[in-house]
Amino acid sequence: MSLTPPDAGSVADGTAHHEPIEDAWLVIPLFNEASVLREVITEARKTFPHVVCVDDASTDGSGVAAREVGAAVVTHPFNLGQGAALQTGIDYVLQTTDAQYVVTFDADGQHRVEDAAAMVRRAREEDVAIVFGSRFLDGRTKPGLLRRIILKGAVWITNQQTGLRLSDAHNGLRVIRRDAAQGLHLAQNRMAHATEIVLQLSRTKLPWVEHPVLIVYTDYSRAKGQSLINSVNILIDTIIK
C-alpha cells in the first residue's frame, strides 16, 4: 500500500486516534471533485485504509487523483449518475473483498470521518445491519430554512413509502453490513436513489439505527450539492418508477 506521510499537525484538531478499521470499505462516488478529494481521501484513509472511489466519468482527472492517494478506483465509461456509482462501489466491495461493512461517503468533505468510524463501531457493538446518518437528531447541523423544509418533506415522503421512521432521509453517510448490502439493487441512477436505498434496505427487514452526524456545509459542498429545484425531479422520479 502507498505510504501516507506522517503528519504531526492534525493531532491538535482534537481527532482521537483510533485503530484503523480494517473490515469496512468506504464507497465514494466521484464526479469532478479533483479539487478537494485528495485531502478528503488522505484524511479518511488514516481511519479507513480501504477506500473504493467510483469515478463517474469525471473530466477533471478525479480518478487519477484518487488513485494517487491510495484509493481503489472503478471508472464508469460514461456518466451514469450518483445512484449508479454507489451501486457499482457496493458491487465492487461485495465481489472483490470479504469486508463486513460498506460505508457510503461523499467526496466533497461534508461528511466527517469520525462520524463514519463511530457508526461502524455502533453497528458492531449493537449488532445492527444498517446505520443511517442523520443531521436532525441534534442541533449541530445548520441547513438553512428552505433546505430544512425540503429535506423534511423528503423525509416525510420516504417514510410514507418505506414504513421506516427516519429523521433524515437524504443523508449520504450510511454504514451497511454485508448481508444488507446484498439486498441492494439500485435502479434509480439519478438522485432519487436516496429514497430507493432506504426502501430496499427496509425490505431486508434487518435491524437498523440512526446515528447523529454533523454535516459540514462548506461553500464547495453547497455549490456541488443538489440545487433545491432538483427536488422536483427527485419527487417525480420517486413516484414514477
Partner 1 sequence: MLDQPLIKVILLVGIVGVTVLLTRSTAGVRHQAVRRLLLVGFVLLAAMAILFPPLLTQVARFVGVGRGADLLLYGLTITFLGYVAASYRRMRQLEQQNTILARQLALNHAVHEARHRPKDS
Interface residue list for partner 1 (CB under 8 A): 54, 72-78, 80, 84, 87-88, 91-92, 95-96, 187, 189, 240-241
Kindly compute the dihedral angle of the four CA atoms of residues 214, 215, 219, 225, in this order, to the nearest 10 degrees.
Answer: 180
- The nearest distance, CB 55 to partner 1, in angstroms, is 9
Q: In the complex, what is the shortest distance from the CB of residue 93 to partner 1, in angstroms, rounded to a whole number? A: 11
Q: Which helix (H) or strand (E) holds 93?
A: helix 82-96
State in angstroms the smallest separation of the CB of 208 from partner 1.
Answer: 26
Give CA–CA dist 68/199, Å, rounded: 36
Please give the single-letter amino acid code of residue 228: L
CB of 1 to partner 1, least distance (A): 10
Residue closer to partner 1 (CB basis): 75 or 221? 75
Provide, rounded to whole angstroms, the least separation between the CB of residue 2 and partner 1.
Answer: 9
Pairing of strands 101-104, 130-134: unpaired
Q: Closer CB to partner 1, residue 80 or residue 194?
A: 80
Q: Which is nearer to partner 1, 35 or 96 (CB)?
A: 96
Place of cell 492534525: 10
CA–CA separation, 45 and 88 (whole Å): 20
- Minimum CB distance to partner 1 smaller for 36 or for 85: 85
188 vs 57, 84, 196, CA distance in Å? 18, 7, 7
Q: 233: buried, middle or exposed (CB in 10 Å: 19+, 13-18, 0-12)?
A: middle
C-beta of 161 vs 221, nearer to partner 1: 161
Report the alpha-carbon distance of residue 218 to residue 174 in Å, rounded.
20
Nearer to partner 1, 82 or 171 (CB): 82
At its nearest, how many Å lie between partner 1 and the CB of residue 96? 6
